[in-house]
Amino acid sequence: MSSVSSAAQSFRSSAHGSWDPERIRPDFPMLKRTVRGHPLVYLDNAATALKPQAVIDAVVEYYTHFSANVARGVHTTSQEATERYESVRVRAAGYLNVDSSEIVFTAGTTASLNLVASSFGSDALRPGDEILVSELEHHSNLVPWQLSAERTGALVRAIPMLDSGDLDLEWLERELSSRTKIVAVCHASNVLGTVVPIDRVSEMAHRVGAKVVVDGAQAAPHFSVDVRALDCDFYALSAHKLFGPTGLGVLFGKRALLERMSPWQGGGGMISSVEIARSSYAASPARFEAGTPAVAEVFGLGGALEYLATWDRLAATDHESALADAAIAGLESIPGVKVFGESASRVGVVAFALDGVHAHDVGTALDAGGVAVRAGHHCAQPLMRRLGVVATARASFAPYNTLRDVEALVAGVERARTLFGR
C-alpha cells in the first residue's frame, strides 16, 4: 500500500465524521489562493492561523466606523470604540473562564511572557532562587527568564523531556523545593504538539509556593482552555494563532498577583497621577497597557472569538487529531523519514525530518507543489539539541484542513526524497 493510501486509511479509521471542513473553508479567503500553480495547502497553522472573513470584517469595521482612540475620549466615537474594546476583554475572559479584571492586552505571547518575567520576576526573584523551564519551550518562554535571572541573580534550570516527548513530571516533583519560585512551561509544544498537564504542574509547584507561568499560544487554538481548572498563575496566548489579527496577545494573571506587580512600561493610560519626580499608577489591567492599544486588532479578536463560538470545538479537535494521525502514518511509511514525538496527548502538530536532506530543502520542495509547512528550529533550539537535529520540517493542522491536504503533504515529501536522491 502506498504512503498516501496508508494516510487515507488511517484518517478514515480514526475520523469521527462529525466535523466537515468543507463547511468552513469558504470562510477563509486565503484558501482560494494558488501557489506556484497549485491550490494552496496551508499547513503552517502553528506559526499563524488563517483569518476568517468575520475577523477581516471586524478590523475593517473599526477603521470604517469606530476609528478613534479608546479609554480617554469623551466624544461619541471614542466612547463607542471603548465600549466595544472592553466587551472583547470580557469575551476573552470568558474564553479562558476567568474574570475580565485579570485580562491584560499585550502585543502577543512573547510580550506577555516578557511582561511577567520583567515585572513579576524582578519583584519575586532573589539571588539563588530557581526558575524551572522545560526542554519543550519556545524561546519566548525561556529567554525572558534568562534575562530576569541575570537581573536578579536567580538560576534557570531545565525540566527534562522524556524520549516520548512528554515532560518528566517525576523529575519535576523531585526537584521542586523552597528555592523554586517560578515554573514556566508551555501548555502545548510548538514542535512536538505535546500537551502538558498544567493542572498537575500547578498542584506540584504550589506545594512549594512557586508560581506557574504558561505559554498557551499553541494550546488555545486547538481546544477549550479553562484556566481556573488549570490553576496556573499566568497564562499567555496570541490572537493570530487563534484565527485573529497579528500584533495582539492576551495575558491572564491572577488578580492578587497583578495588583502587586510593578508596571512594565510607562506612558499614557497606565497612570493615576503624574508629577515631575514621581508617579502613581492605575489599577490592573490598565497599569500594564501603556500607550495607544491595538484597538483594531482587539476588534478583530472579538470577531475571532465570536466566530469560534459557532464551532463544535470537540469535533474540530478530533478532526485535527485524525489528520495528524494520518500524516504521521503517511510520513512514517516513506523510507528515510523520521517523525518526532510519541506523546499520547498532543495537538495537531507533526515535526519530521528526511534523512540527509535539510529541513529548508524539504520545505522548499513542498512549496513547489503549493504545500506550506514550517522548516527550521522553530524558536526551540534547546529542544532541537535534545532531539539530536539542527532543524525539522513541521506540518500543523487546523479545522479547515482536509485529507487532501495530508495526501498533498505526503506526496510532496515523497517527491522531495526522489528529488534529492534519497
DSSP letter for each residue of 30-54: GGG-EETTEE-EE-BTTT-----HH
CATH number of 329's domain: 3.90.1150.10
Instruction: Dump pLDDT digits (tens) for 144-190.
Output: 999 999 999 999 999 999 999 999 999 999 999 999 999 999 999 99
> Do the Cβ atoms of 125 and 162 come closer than 8 Å?
no
Do 324 and 286 reside in the same domain of the chain? no
Do 20 and 129 reside in the same domain of the chain? no
Number of C-alpha atoms within 13 angstroms, CB side, residue 323? 29
* Torsion sign, CA atoms 224, 228, 230, 233: positive
pLDDT value at 376 more than 50: yes
Do 232 and 184 reside in the same domain of the chain? yes
State the pLDDT at residue 422: 61
393's CB contacts (< 8 A; 6+ apart) are: 351, 352, 353, 354, 359, 362, 363, 366, 373, 374, 375, 413
pLDDT value at 17 more than 70: no
11 versus 356: the higher-pLDDT residue is: 356
Instruction: Dump pLDDT digits (tens) for 270-283.
Output: 888 988 999 999 99
Do 200 and 96 reside in the same domain of the chain? yes
Q: Rounded to a whole number, what is the distance in angstroms from the first to the last CA of the chain?
A: 20
CATH number of 169's domain: 3.40.640.10
The residue range of the domain holding 357 is 3-49+312-419
Sheet holding 249-253, edge to edge: 103-106, 249-253, 234-238, 211-215, 180-186, 130-134, 155-159
Helix or strand holding residue 316 (H, E):
helix 313-332
Instruction: Dump pLDDT digits (tens) for 22-50.
Output: 999 999 999 999 999 999 999 999 999 99
State the pLDDT at residue 256: 97
pLDDT tier for residue 13 given thresholds of 50, 70 and 90 = very low
Burial of 352 (0-12, 13-18, 19+ CB in 10 A): buried
Rounded mean pLDDT of 123-147? 98
Do 126 and 174 reside in the same domain of the chain? yes
Decide which of 290, 308, 326 is a domain's last residue: 308
State the pLDDT at residue 5: 53
pLDDT above 90 covers a percentage of the chain that reads: 92
Do 72 and 180 reside in the same domain of the chain? yes
- Report the alpha-carbon distance of residue 172 to residue 170 in Å, rounded: 5
Do 20 and 113 reside in the same domain of the chain? no
Do 259 and 301 reside in the same domain of the chain? yes
Do 173 and 260 reside in the same domain of the chain? yes
Do 239 and 302 reside in the same domain of the chain? yes
Do 412 and 271 reside in the same domain of the chain? no
State the pLDDT at residue 176: 98
When the pLDDT of each residue in the chain is averaged and rounded to a whole number, the result is 95
Rounded mean pLDDT of 7-34? 78
pLDDT value at 63 more than 50: yes
Instruction: Dump pLDDT digits (tens) for 67-83.
Output: 999 988 899 999 999 99
Instruction: Dump pLDDT digits (tens) for 249-260.
Output: 999 999 999 999
Q: Looking at the 3D structure of the chain, how many domains does it have?
A: 2
Decide which of 308, 327, 360 is a domain's last residue: 308
174's CB contacts (< 8 A; 6+ apart) are: none
- Report the alpha-carbon distance of residue 43 to residue 372 in Å, rounded: 5
Question: Global pTM?
Answer: 0.95
Do 247 and 324 reside in the same domain of the chain? no
Rounded mean pLDDT of 387-400? 98
Helix or strand holding residue 10 (H, E):
helix 3-14
Nearest in space to 144 (alpha carbons), one of 164, 168, 169, 115 = 115
> Do the Cβ atoms of 396 and 47 come closer than 8 Å?
yes
* Torsion sign, CA atoms 352, 357, 360, 364: negative
pLDDT value at 353 more than 90: yes
* Residues facing residue 42 across a β-bridge: 372
Decide which of 265, 283, 308 is a domain's last residue: 308
Tell me which residues are annotated as active site.
379
State the pLDDT at residue 112: 98
State the pLDDT at residue 9: 55
pLDDT tier for residue 16 given thresholds of 50, 70 and 90 = very low
